[in-house]
Amino acid sequence: MSRAVLSIGSNLGDPLENLRSVVDALGDRLVAVSGVYATAPWGGVEQQDFLNATLIADDPELDCRGWLRLGQELEAAADRVREQRWGPRSLDVDVVDCDGLVSADPELTLPHPRAHERAFVLVPWLEIDPDATLTVRGARVPARELLGDLDATERGGVRRTELLLVRP
């Protein structure tokens, strides 16, 4: 069995429906779904705010590369176009962590190389897994500690919404 932590985000088209498309596609593989968070764009590109969430999913048929491929397929189904690094996107599906593995493979770096720097990943992840840990510089570190190390502005820019990913 393979367990993955996925960070999903969108700020083009219908962002909520784009995020829901991931939840719908994962179906019974979902273990936990965070709330939806509005977040300022990261990376310095002028654009509208994102909707973000974090998911935990299990699938005995997928390995870590399988989660990456599935995320890429879901992005393609949402007409994701990669025009500008950190630019606007219809859907972004990142594999944050997969079975706690560490990989420096350029195709799939695990854990996600900047997850520990991003409150929009850590805040929703901690909502669904308060004991989450992430490997940073060779050591497993509690995600709560990583979040506490971030600038207060970064943490404050992650705002919980009343939106729901699971369809009523």
Any idea which residues carry the catalytic annotation? 80, 89, 92, 94
Q: Rounded to whole angstroms, how far apart are CA atoms 69 and 67?
A: 5
Beta strand 37-39 pairing with 158-160: antiparallel
Beta strands in 11-148 (DSSP E): 30-33, 37-39, 50-59, 92-98, 103-104, 109-110, 133-136, 139-142
| Cα 65 versus chain centre, distance | 16
Q: Write out the two tokens for 122.
A: 């850590």
Phi-psi region of 143 (alpha: psi -120 to 50; beta: other; left: phi over 0): alpha
